[in-house]
Structure 1
Amino acid sequence: MDDVARHAGVSGSTVSHVLNGTRPVSASTRTRVEEAIRALGYRNNLNARALAAGKTFTVGLATSALQTPYFGAIVNAMEKRLSGAGYMLMVGDSNDDGPTERRIIDALLSRRVDGIIVTPAIDSEHTTIPQIVAAGTPFVLVDRNLPLDCDQITPENTESAFLLTNHLLALGHRRVAVLRGLMGIGSSPERYQGYLNALAANGVPLDESIVLNGQGHRDDAEREVRRVFAGPDHPTALVALNNSMTIGALEALVGLDLSIPNDVAFVSYDHFDWSELIRPKLTSIAQNVELMAETAVELLLRRIDGDTSPAQRVTIATTFQHRNSCGCGLD
């Protein structure tokens, strides 16, 4: 590090700030340091840094369905923020399976990560979360909440699903089907409750025959939509409560040769970038994924640095994006 400092004409502490992101450094100084690092082939001694700081400078993430646009965007936003703070992100995909999640948490704890971010699978409050608490490792829950007194960062779920369903009901639809996710994880019952609240507010009785158990997954959603919408007396509208189920539903409706919105008005919870290519454009709830990821990382880093303030439950607002898959004929 001293050689880098001499080559760049700065102090050793300035080189440390550039390498570890511990303090702001001017753009010109950062450029000189980075050029010196490349010229000298310097590599930061992470083991020495970890020993000196009492940290490993790694954060673990136990998440689910990394192949989906939503969770992929969350991981990308977290990695960028953590990298800027000098941390490496280690990721494991539980695929909403409890035993898999336990193996991931075991692996992260054995590697002595400084903190853990979890999008909890079913029954996590009785299995993996006590495991993390017992280890004394700071953690934050993201996307899905649990009935626990711990840091939790989640999107707004109930009112968002209410807005989607209420919009279809306001357009005159009375047989509005819903694709709901796994009911054992926090976001699914909250979004389903929003659907129920909209029915009640409009005096529409619940028809359980058009409550589709998409299980949060693309294939299950496609199968359920094909089953319910195959006949001539199918529902006139459909609400999909996450983006994986949205993809499955769209595949099923196309396969059944049903037109959106002429045959079926369609709305979805979750917006993803390539949905702009779908015609008609989807009326949807868009989550602020970057804000949710960055809020979770900022809170976790504070906990790692010793913040012992009371647990925080932060709800991130969503945006209703009114397009024309609902049948409103917007551009």
Structure 2
Amino acid sequence: MTTMGDVARLAGVSASTVSHVLNGTRKVDAATRQRVEVAIAETGYRRNGVARSLAAGRTHTVGLSISALTNPYFGSLVHAVERALSDAGYVLIVGDSHDAVDSEKRVTDSLLDRQVDGMIVAPAAGSERSTLPGITRTGTPLVLIDRMLDVDCDQVGPENVTSARMLTEHLLDLGHRRIAVVRGIPGISSTTERFDGYVAALEGRGIGLDPSLVVEGESSTDVAEREVRALLASPNRPTALVSMNNAMTIGTLKAVRSLGLSIPRDVAFVCYDDFEWSDLFEPKLTAAGQDVETIGATAAQLLLRRIRKEDGPPQRIRVPTMFHHRSSCGCS
């Protein structure tokens, strides 16, 4: 491995002169600077950024534990966080938790071993008992993203209850009474909150919850397709469907198509999560779209404040969704 001493010998200067050129800590005459820069290029020397960062007490890295990186929503969320942190001079290290606390703990432990300056976590079910205490014990700044928990740290996520209620009420306003819901992974706050919104809409119209209309989609395209197909193939199928995330929306649409049914003629449809390419669907999807850019940028800013040791009580920030009224709901 090339050292600073190798560069100094090739340039015919002292190691301290090379250091001054690299770090700008002292003025070096133009001719000497040029010799050093040529020697750096010829030797391929690179500074040990990790050693310098550790000496300064910072690594300028942030860890992100998140699930299902293949999910378009989470991919967009990672991109939004990375852009905000990059603008502040930080590098993002991402690990996939697979929405399971055991793999989540492996990811977060690995990130802590790398001495990240802070951590952003989209918590799996049970994370508050398993993963998060281990992070807080280290004193590492922590922000929760997408899913809110009853823990003492900064958190940012989408508005879930009101948005899911709004989607369901829209179908009720169109005259539907047998409205099925496709819900996500049990034990995750976003799953619970969106289901609560669905139930609140029904109760607001005096309609009791029918368990036969609750589809356990598990935030999986394949599971949602299988379960929705079984529901729609039954004699007393629902007249409308609400899907509570984009992976399950794809599965639901595949199930409808596999049965030769048509949206919205045979079954009306609305969904939580919008797609960047949703206009390619026919009919176009009525959806509650998340403001991914704001969620990601807000999480990054909250974390940077804690890294800078700014005081203040933990913040819980809910970002409103945007209602995109299209044609899958059956409106003209």
| TM-score normalised by length of structure 1 | 0.86
Query: Hey, what does 1:216 align to over in structure 2?
Result: 219
Cα deviation code 1:73-108 (max 9, x no counterpart): 000111111122111111111111111001101101
User: Mapping of 1:46-85 within 5 angstroms?
Assistant: 46-85=49-88
Structure 1 residue 48, shift from structure 2 partner: 4.8
Unaligned runs of 5+ residues in structure 2 are 1-15, 26-36
> Residues 263, 86 of structure 1: CA spacing in aligned structure 2 closer, same or farther, 3 A cutoff?
same
Alignment match, 1:252 = 255
| 2:210 counterpart of 1:198 | no
1:271 aligns to 2:265 (yes or no): no
- For residue 298 of structure 1, the aligned residue among 292, 297, 301 is 301
Give the direction of change, closer, same or farther, for the CA distance of 1:169–1:42 in structure 2 (3 Å limit). Answer: farther
- The alpha carbon displacement at 1:43 in A equals 5.2
Mark the CA change 1:3 to 1:320 in structure 2 (over 3 Å): closer, same or farther: farther
Equivalent of 2:243, from 229, 240, 243?
A: 240
Amino acid at match of 1:289: V
- Name the CA distance, whole Å, in 2 between partners of 1:43 and 1:165: 58
Preserved contact between residue 2 and residue 12 of structure 1 (Cα < 8 Å): no
Maintained 8 Å contact 1:139/1:151: yes
Query: Does structure 2 conserve the Cα–Cα contact (< 8 Å) formed by 1:141 and 1:153?
Result: yes
SS of 1:263's equivalent?
A: coil
Counterpart pick for 1:230 among 228, 233, 236: 233
Aligned: 1:140 with 2:152: no
Deviation at 1:2, TM superposition (A): 8.5
Question: Could you say which residue in structure 1 is the equivalent of 2:34?
Answer: none
For 1:17, the equivalent position in structure 2 comes to none
Show structure 1 runs of 4+ deviating over 2 A: 1-7, 39-45
Aligned residue among 94, 98, 106 for 1:91 = 94
Which residue of the other structure, out of 125, 131, 152, is the alignment partner of 1:128? 131
CA gap of 1:42–1:285, structure 2 versus 1, over 3 A, is: farther
Residue in structure 1 matched with residue 283 of structure 2 by the alignment: 280
Report SS of the residue matched to 2:277: helix
In 2 relative to 1, CA 296–178 (structure 1 residues): closer, same or farther, beyond 3 Å?
same
Q: Partners of 2:19 and 2:240 in 1: how far apart?
A: 64
Q: Name the % identity.
A: 54
**1:294 partner letter:** A
Per-residue deviation, 1:3: 8.2
For 1:176, which of 176, 179, 204 is the aligned residue? 179
8 A contact 1:4–1:42 mirrored in 2: no
2:122 to 119, 123, 129: 119
2:24 maps to 1:12: yes
Equivalent residue pairs, number: 303
1:12 aligned partner, one-letter code: G
Distance 2:283 2:45 in 1: 53
Find the counterpart in structure 2 of residue 25 from structure 1: none
Q: Which residue of the partner structure matches residue 18 of structure 1?
A: none
In 2, Cα distance between the equivalents of 1:6 and 1:130?
44
Question: Can you list the C-alpha shifts for 1:281-322, whole angstroms capped at 9, x where unaligned?
Answer: 100001000100000001101111112311000000111110
Unaligned 5+ residue runs, structure 1? Answer: 14-35
Contact 1:156 1:316 in 2 (8 A): yes
Q: CA, structure 1 residues 53+6, in 2 after alignment: closer, same or farther (shift >3 Å)?
A: closer
TM-score, L = length of structure 2: 0.86
Q: Does 1:160 align with 2:172?
A: no
- The 2-side partners of 1:88 and 1:12 are apart by 23
- Following the alignment from structure 1 to structure 2, what is the Cα–Cα distance between the partners of residues 119 and 178? 23
* Cα pair 1:239 1:266 within 8 Å, conserved: yes
Deviations 1:191-236 (A, max 9, x none): 0010001001112221110111111111111111011001342101
